[in-house]
Structures are given as structure tokens and as C-alpha cells.
Amino acid sequence: MKIKLIIFDFDGTLGDTRRNITTTMRMAIKEIGLSERSEAECASTIGLPLAGCIRTLFPDILEELVPRFAETYRRIFNENLQRIKPTAFPGVIDTLSALFHRGYVLTIASSRSRNSLTELTRDMGIADYISYMIGADDVKEAKPKPEPVLKTLAALKFEANETIVVGDMAVDILMGANAGTKTCGVTWGNGSRKDFQEAGADYIIDSMEELIEITEE
């Protein structure tokens, strides 16, 4: 069946937020008194909810520090936005515009909060193309569980076989696969081609413009 709905991840897929995230994560880790983690170690957790990030970086962390980290991270992230402005990846704005005007329904399923998504999509100039957004605060089970996709399908009344999930991490691919959709990995974010192949991605693209060809198949 022809693709009608496209569900995008945000960080590393639409928005180049790696520097914002890793800088904020390292500052929050330092502020709550945990041992330092490298930029690469922090980047490897992008795509997970904040609780999942800190538990991955510190498997033996005291449980009381998990919500403290999340609160500290959100405060510092908002402060850092004043000096580190996330931008859309090359080709993102033009491709979203082209897909939107061809009649595709475009949505976002992200591990960041919906309020943050609202602000960032507006600042990047892509908000008008996005019909629906799911944030970490909208689901009980985050990626790679299928809940973000299933809630989007139910809300917009689409079927899984007319949907594709596009993301830069294996958790995005697994989320889509677990919901029964097509999946597409993008190589300009935080995941690798090998990650996508191992996760079973249906497509892997090196530029945003390639998505137009896939949806027109």
C-alpha cells in the first residue's frame, strides 16, 4: 500500500541538536555530582528518554538521582538554547515542504517533551508542516516500544501498512517495526548504517531528499 503517513524522530533526524544534548547532559551530570562521561558516551544515549539515558550511562545510579537528573537536564537545556541554537539538517525544510504539498501527513514521535518539540519546530520553521506530535510525556512505554506509533495511528486513523517511521537510531527502527510500519534510517544523525541494518530497516538514506523517492515508490 502507498505511504500516506510519515512519522519522524526529531533529534538527529530533523534537528541537529547533538551539541545541545551532549553539552547539557555533561553539565547536568556534573551538577548532580556524578563522574564525568564523554561526549561520545552521552551521544550514544540520544533517542532514549532522560531516565533511560542516565541509567545507561550509570547502571548503578541511585534511583533518587534519576528524576533529579531529568529536572536538572531540562533546566540547563533551556538555558543553553539561548547560546546554542539547534538548526534543521540540510534538505529538511525543503523536503518537508515538498512532502506536505504532495499530500503526505507528517508527524513527530520523539523522546523529548512535547512542549520542547513545539518550541523547537517553531524556531526551525517547520511547525506548519507537522500535523501531530508525540513526546516522552505522552506515552507510558517509550521507544523501542511501539506505543508512540500506535497512538499516532489511532489519533490520525491511518493503518501501519501505509506508514513509514524515519529516524537516526536503532530504537526508531525497532519502534516502527514493532508497530508493523515501514522504516527508514538516516545516516546524518547519531546512528550508523550498521545499526540500521542490524535493526532491520527497510530503507537507509544519506540525504533527506531521498525520502521523496521512497514515498513515491
Average pLDDT, the chain: 95
How many residues does the structure list for the chain? Answer: 217
Pairing of strands 15-16, 87-88: antiparallel
Distance between first and last Cα of the chain: 10
- Say if residue 130's pLDDT is above 80: yes
pTM of the model: 0.90
* 37, 189, 134, 73 alpha-carbon torsion, rounded to 10°: 20
Q: Are 119 and 86 in contact (CB under 8 A)?
A: no
Q: Which helix (H) or strand (E) holds 7?
A: strand 5-8
Q: What residues does 11 pair with on adjacent strands?
A: 15
**Domains parsed from the chain with CATH numbers:** 5-16+87-215 (3.40.50.1000), 18-80 (1.10.150.240)
Q: CB within 8 A of 58, min separation 6: which ones? A: 34
Region 75-99 average pLDDT: 93
Query: How does pLDDT run across 155-186, given as a tens digit for each residue?
Result: 999 999 999 999 999 999 999 999 999 999 99
Query: How does pLDDT run across 22-49, given as a tens digit for each residue?
Result: 999 999 999 999 999 999 999 999 888 9
Angle at 139 between CA 6 and CA 120, to 5 degrees: 60
Question: Which residue has 527508514 as its cell numbers?
Answer: 184
